[in-house]
Amino acid sequence: MAKTSMSQRKTMGRVMHEYAHGELKRGRRGKGGKVKSRRQAVAIALKEAGASKEASKDKNRRNLARSKSKEASGRTSQQAVEGKARVGARGKRESSRAMGGKNAKTRTRRSPLQRAAARRNIKRANPRRAAR
């Protein structure tokens, strides 16, 4: 089997996480109940990631695209249970630096009023630093 891409591995990891936490469902729209078998979970993970050797290239590509759109719009069961809009930063800010996030790629833009308030807070927090 060909080497899986990073996005395929992430999708497979998410599906296996859902299985481990009892969130992975079978059948159409999850009407078939929870997946009990690890082998079944692996098969679902490979299919969702578009890494199945049983499916054609086009079908695999379509399955991966479907999974990625599901993840991007927050419709996976992991996101539903954990209350997340998306899994990982995915090239966007997970949270801004101003909010204390470490994944922020760019700084949040502050208005002049916000900048002045931030300076005041820094002065209050470090009186010795402000005296210099």
Position 11 scores a pLDDT of 93
Q: Tell whether 93 is covered by a domain.
A: no
Instruction: Express the helix, strand and coil content of the chain in percent, nearest 5 each.
Output: 55, 0, 40
Q: Do the domain assignments include residue 94? A: no
Does the reported pTM lie above 0.85? no
- For residue 101, is it within any domain? no
The domain in which residue 46 lies consists of 6-82
Task: Say which range, 6-10, 46-50, 74-78, 84-88, has the weakest mean pLDDT.
Answer: 84-88
Give pLDDT tens digits for 30-80.
888 999 999 999 999 999 999 999 999 999 999 999 999 888 878 888 888
What's the whole-number average pLDDT of the chain? 81
Residue 103 confidence class, pLDDT cut points 50, 70, 90: low
Asked if residue 49 is part of any domain, the answer here is yes
Residue 57 lies inside a defined structural domain of this protein = yes
Give the count of beta carbons closer than 10 Å to the beta carbon of residue 19. Answer: 20
Q: Give the separation between CA 64 and CA 95, rounded to whole angstroms.
A: 26
Mean pLDDT on 80-102: 59
The total number of structural domains that make up the chain: 1
- Residue 4 pLDDT exceeds 80: yes
Q: Is residue 103 part of a domain?
A: no
In a domain, 40, yes or no: yes
Residue 131, domain member (yes or no): no
35: which DSSP letter?
-
